[in-house]
A and B are shown apart, each in its own frame.
Chain A
Amino acid sequence: MPTVTVEPSLRIQNLIDVLYEVTPEIEAERAVLITESYKETEAYPMVIRRAKALENILTKMTIVIRDHELIVGNLTTKPRASQVFPEFSNKWLVEEFETLEKRKGDVFLISEDTKAKLREVFKYWEGKTTNELATQLMFPETREAMDAGVFTVGNYYFNGVGHIGVDYEKVLTKGFNGIIAEVEAAKARADKADPDYIKKDHFLNAVLITANAVIAYAQRFAEEARKLAGRTKDVKRKNELYQIADNCENVPANPSKNFYEALQSFWFVQAVIQIESNGHSISPLRFDQYMYPYYKNDLANGTLTAEEAQELLDALWVKFNDVNKVRDEGSTKAFGGYPMFQNLIVGGQTADGRDAVNPLSFACLQATANTKLPQPSISIRYWNKTPDELMFKAGEVTRLGLGMPAYYNDEVIIPSLVSRGVSLSDARDYGIIGCVEPQKGGKTEGWHDAAFFNMAKVLEITINNGLMDGKQIGLKTGEFTSYTTFEEFLAAYQQQMEYLVRLLINADNSVDLAHGERAPLPFLSSMVDDCIGKGKSLQEGGALYNFTGPQGVGVANVGDSLMAIKQLVFDEKKVSLAELKHALDTNFGQGQVQTSPNFSLDQLTQETLVEVIKKLIVEGNNISLDMLKNATNVKVDLGSNKDQEYLRQLLENRAPKFGNDIDEVDTLAREAALIYCREVEKYRNPRGGSFQPGLYPVSANVPMGAQTGATPDGRKAGEPLADGVSPVSGRDKTGPTAAANSIAKLDHHIASNGTLFNQKFHPSAISGQTGLENLSALVRGYFDQKGMHVQFNVVSRETLIKAQKNPEKYKNLVVRVAGYSAHFTSLDKTIQDDIINRTEQAF
């Protein structure tokens, strides 16, 4: 199979420079336009109001064709800026106006003018947001559990849902004129006496409004391009602009005639979805499949060379990075690095079960190698027939240290989707949403990132008999010291899980209903089956497949903790429950000094300072007690702390740990994951679909760890939880095959919303052709054992430490953080530390 080896052109470098020469900014234009429209449409049904609002935005927003661009369609006036979506939530933004520029990660500039405009429009939204409605719908105990840190539904609670891949192929082959015809046919077919007719008709009319609006939006670009062409003296650029104008006149209204038009049509869809809502993870899915006919045709008939096609592809790749989103500071800790999670996947098999790899699969990987940018999140699908050439090409990209591609196993995901009611041919045609979530594109409303659920917190609650900070958050399952067998304790944990998962379901379904009521998305819905057929938006259950996917976080911590309790307390009796409880309550004698991301030096009181220094002494640093006493005038009793640290060492080192291919503990980690997963999959959502669990944290393992006390695995309070299904950072001491084998012992089929295994390599481990072969073999070996997903960070620890110290020198360093890639220097320091600490498998 031919591998394209062209270098990125000067144009691509210029495009990248245009994007990254400015700090991202917040713009008020969309917020102003949507508010203007909403004020005028109060008498209309909500779905029509949403359509008219989008129409107003697309008609009036500033359109920009940036220098050197070949693919056009902007979301914001300035590059990588963020619009504001007041209909979901807005109060937090006002509260954070003054800190947006100063916060540690994901900084945004905001002008005084923008602040004033936003303050003005936000007045209108008082009481009207999805967030406020959802809050009203939740039970009080649900809100308390959320406040206690058991779970967060923050993503959709404060923002649009996103997390979807639409039927791009439909737009490419039929155009929006085709969609309009489809709607007209549905309208003609409808029975006016049907009691649902009125609502259906509203929805279909809304789709017509948005379809026409996107066609008109493209026309504006055609006009702008002609205008610019008229002014440009550079003949080459002039011709390019005329070509852009021709493209925008034809698509996305009509079927695409060639590869270039198809790319342009694709981008309009991608952009407008993200103007309609700020839900992220708008994923192109199987781009190498639906784009290939155009690519193949143009190359075969000679209208495009492979090099020209590559440049267009590279230009689109840069464009993916022009999309941005402002999040609240808390969320930036769980989603650090301006991530947009536009996941694009190549390879795998066709709907009828043949190998799907084609030359465009390679060209997509090459585009990532050429641009070296975090977006799109590129992935590959693997099955037994995946050719070695694709694995090697993927390995070459892996070696660049971008943390991409991520590898997905068809042999697990397809049966897993089938078990959730997806047809075999649809399951074979899956793509990946966002981080790791499998979905059949164009037919699914997956609500994939519904929540992060802190499994370690449930353990903490069980140990505390349902109490957290004096509040009864969980059930009274019994005093920790009262258990006489491990099985009794495990049963109590399971009972707490049952109770707390029910609250999670209540939270998710409240948010779900709020979106159905206040934020139906007619444009997005027009590209997902069977919304037009059913006459229903996605948010009201229009899709063929409906899911809700909340993620369990802390599998390895719970597994390791259960192992320590079972072996050291009950089997070997090396520590009593009372001793363990005391150790956990006192954070192993160190007090509750949390290494939380919010912890900063200026908050240090004398008391915490003493705790910190005590900790340093216990850890063997070279500070004497006398020095401390003289400096602080505080009497310090270290004796008991040493005993506590000794106990912590017992927990940490004398019970096996997940990630080392040891059956006893791997089985308990599997059980821990299953206890969560079996509970979640019992429930249904308001869109007529079911809940399906996932096991990935994005980077929520860091803030969730900060909210979790000491755990029986020897983890101190505040330390990060394990990342996804990966072992606890630093505890996988037996190498990558052992870690992979341990993780493959979990049941990945039941976690059908996705699992995440992060593996870090020193570059020397995979150098040369031998390195590519070994990497490929490791992936195949892990997947033979039914692992679902793996991704690799290939970058040296030294590089990361240097980048942390001299961020200005490492602006372009991209690392994989959990499910996505981000610029390392844009991350919060605690996340940077977490990445640095992940076990490095160096040889």
Chain B
Amino acid sequence: METNKGIVFDIQRFSVHDGPGIRSIVFLKGCPLRCRWCSNPESQNKEPQIMFIERNCIGCGRCTEVCPTGALQIVPSFKIDYNQCTKCGKCVDVCYSEALNFSGNTRSVEEVMGELKKDHIHYKRSGGGITLSGGEPLSQPEYAEELLKACKAKGWHTAIETTAYTSGTVLEKVLPWLDLVLLDIKHTDDQKHQEFVGRSNEKILENARYIGQFGVPIIIRVPVIPTFNDGENEIKSIASFASSIKGVKEVHLLPYHRLGENKYGYLNYDYRMKGIQPPTNEKMQGLKKVVEEKGLLCKIGG
């Protein structure tokens, strides 16, 4: 892929929880991690994917008529045979009711800037700007860098929401164009991290220190996931780590939510968090105190 083009799966405007002011978030596709609670499962795979939203389907059957490989069936229920699907997109084209959608489009920096520009007055009025998110936005490093440069050229505030699962070289390239890093720390215990996230946390913790040294302000964000890291000791350990990083003054505790669950269905993925309840408000308040005891500001939610 050329550096000027990337795979974007959404641009969300009037975002008020991912950095200061009114912001637009650009969601880049592709992520090296596989967090079980991921609320954007369509972000994980780097390639565009076909999603099926059953409640939109009017059962017209036109998708099966146009599919050149016979990968689709709608009777008795909808099914895509992903082995046969060539992602030609013909079914999506004829699906006017938008039951079939492509998640992820190839978009140039100029195209994305055209969208972002639309809210420039609101960025200015609110002290907002843009936030790159994903997936892991740094899994498309050159594109992320180009986008951030273009935004800085407009004078906008820039932020990134990252897992920090990337290389030092990549960080070195993007950090000069960033005003704020929203950095996910999920667990300090590597074994547990590997079990729930699919990767080691070693590189993440190391990169966190590196970003701190670089001098860009950091907000540590912790998804609070029952059965994974919602114990006081686990949060305390993350808070201790956070307070040791230069440039970290604030921690956001993001309570687990189930809003992404239906998207697993759209993609025919298994949802491995079934039946798990979001943490209660009292629980979150307790964890907030734990963080504050480490001398950090703490917010629940972004």
Checking A642, A643, A649, A774 against B21 with a beta-carbon cut-off of 8 angstroms, the contacting residue is: A774
- Complex: A841 Cα to B14 Cα, angstroms: 9
Q: Counting CB contacts under 8 A, is A620 at the interface? A: yes
Q: Contact check, A735 vs B14: say whether CB atoms are below 8 A apart.
A: yes
Task: With both chains docked as a complex, state the minimum distance between the C-beta of B278 and any C-beta of chain A, in angstroms.
Answer: 14
Given contacts A735-B13, A741-B118, A785-B121, contact A777 B126 (CB under 8 A): yes
Q: Provide the residues of chain B in CB contact with A780, threshold 8 Å.
A: 125
Task: With both chains docked as a complex, state the minimum distance between the C-beta of B96 and any C-beta of chain A, in angstroms.
Answer: 4
Q: Contact check, B122 vs A661: say whether CB atoms are below 8 A apart.
A: no
Checking B17, B58, B119, B125 against A646 with a beta-carbon cut-off of 8 angstroms, the contacting residue is: B58
Q: Counting CB contacts under 8 A, is B16 at the interface? A: yes
Most-contacted residue by chain B among A642, A736, A774 (CB, 10 A): A774
Q: Counting CB contacts under 8 A, is A305 at the interface? A: no
- Complex: A646 Cα to B98 Cα, angstroms: 11
Dominant SS among interface residues on chain B? loop
Q: What interface size band does chain B fall in?
A: 20 to 34
- Complex: A726 Cα to B141 Cα, angstroms: 40
Q: Contact check, B118 vs A843: say whether CB atoms are below 8 A apart.
A: no
- Complex: A604 Cα to B48 Cα, angstroms: 48
Q: Contact check, B119 vs A737: say whether CB atoms are below 8 A apart.
A: yes
- Complex: A773 Cα to B125 Cα, angstroms: 9
- Complex: A738 Cα to B12 Cα, angstroms: 10
Q: Contact check, B122 vs A781: say whether CB atoms are below 8 A apart.
A: yes
- Complex: A736 Cα to B119 Cα, angstroms: 11
Most-contacted residue by chain B among A645, A646, A734 (CB, 10 A): A646
Q: Provide the residues of chain B in CB contact with A646, threshold 8 Å.
A: 58, 60, 62, 96-97
Checking A645, A649, A777 against B22 with a beta-carbon cut-off of 8 angstroms, the contacting residue is: A777
Task: With both chains docked as a complex, state the minimum distance between the C-beta of A499 and any C-beta of chain B, in angstroms.
Answer: 35
- Complex: A652 Cα to B98 Cα, angstroms: 10
Q: Name the CB-closest residue of B to A766.
A: B16
Q: Contact check, A774 vs B59: say whether CB atoms are below 8 A apart.
A: no
Q: Contact check, B122 vs A642: say whether CB atoms are below 8 A apart.
A: no
Q: Counting CB contacts under 8 A, is B57 at the interface? A: yes
Q: Provide the residues of chain B in CB contact with A736, threshold 8 Å.
A: 14
Q: Counting CB contacts under 8 A, is B166 at the interface? A: no
Q: Contact check, B58 vs A649: say whether CB atoms are below 8 A apart.
A: yes
Q: Contact check, B13 vs A737: say whether CB atoms are below 8 A apart.
A: yes
Q: Provide the residues of chain B in CB contact with A643, threshold 8 Å.
A: 60
Task: With both chains docked as a complex, state the minimum distance between the C-beta of B19 and any C-beta of chain A, in angstroms.
Answer: 11
Q: Provide the residues of chain A in CB contact with B62, threshold 8 Å.
A: 646
- Complex: A737 Cα to B25 Cα, angstroms: 13
Q: Contact check, B121 vs A642: say whether CB atoms are below 8 A apart.
A: no
Dominant SS among interface residues on chain A? helix
Task: With both chains docked as a complex, state the minimum distance between the C-beta of A55 and any C-beta of chain B, in angstroms.
Answer: 55
Q: Counting CB contacts under 8 A, is B55 at the interface? A: yes
Checking B55, B121, B122, B127 against A620 with a beta-carbon cut-off of 8 angstroms, the contacting residue is: B55
- Complex: A736 Cα to B55 Cα, angstroms: 25
- Complex: A774 Cα to B19 Cα, angstroms: 12
- What 1/0 mask marks residues of chain B from 1 to 34 whose CB sits below 8 Å from any chain A CB? 0000000000011111100011000000000000
Q: Name the CB-closest residue of A to B118.
A: A661
Q: Provide the residues of chain A in CB contact with B98, threshold 8 Å.
A: 649, 653
Q: Provide the residues of chain B in CB contact with A661, threshold 8 Å.
A: 118
Checking A620, A652, A771, A785 against B57 with a beta-carbon cut-off of 8 angstroms, the contacting residue is: A620
Checking A620, A735, A741, A781 against B126 with a beta-carbon cut-off of 8 angstroms, the contacting residue is: A781
Q: Contact check, B121 vs A843: say whether CB atoms are below 8 A apart.
A: no
Q: Name the CB-closest residue of B to A650.
A: B96
- Complex: A661 Cα to B122 Cα, angstroms: 13
Q: Name the CB-closest residue of A to B11.
A: A734
Q: Contact check, B14 vs A777: say whether CB atoms are below 8 A apart.
A: no
Task: With both chains docked as a complex, state the minimum distance between the C-beta of A386 and any C-beta of chain B, in angstroms.
Answer: 13
Task: With both chains docked as a complex, state the minimum distance between the C-beta of A667 and any C-beta of chain B, in angstroms.
Answer: 15
Q: Provide the residues of chain A in CB contact with B13, threshold 8 Å.
A: 734-735, 737-738
Task: With both chains docked as a complex, state the minimum distance between the C-beta of A739 and any C-beta of chain B, in angstroms.
Answer: 9
Give residues of chain A (590-623) contacting chain B, Cβ–Cβ below 8 Å.
Answer: 618-620
- Complex: A778 Cα to B127 Cα, angstroms: 11
Q: Contact check, B126 vs A773: say whether CB atoms are below 8 A apart.
A: yes
Task: With both chains docked as a complex, state the minimum distance between the C-beta of B125 and any C-beta of chain A, in angstroms.
Answer: 4
Q: Contact check, A774 vs B121: say whether CB atoms are below 8 A apart.
A: no
Which A-B residue pairs are the 7 nearest by beta carbons?
A777-B126, A649-B96, A735-B14, A777-B125, A649-B97, A781-B122, A650-B96
The chain B residues found within 8 Å of chain A, CB to CB, are 12-17, 21-22, 55, 57-60, 62, 96-98, 118-119, 121-122, 124-128
Q: A646-B96, A737-B119, A777-B125 are in contact. List 4 more A-B contacts (CB 8 A).
A: A652-B96, A771-B16, A774-B22, A843-B16
Q: Show 18 A/B contacts (Cβ-Cβ < 8 Å), sorted by A.
A: A620-B55, A642-B59, A650-B96, A654-B96, A734-B13, A737-B14, A738-B13, A774-B22, A778-B126, A780-B125, A781-B119, A781-B121, A781-B124, A784-B125, A841-B14, A843-B15, A843-B16, A843-B17
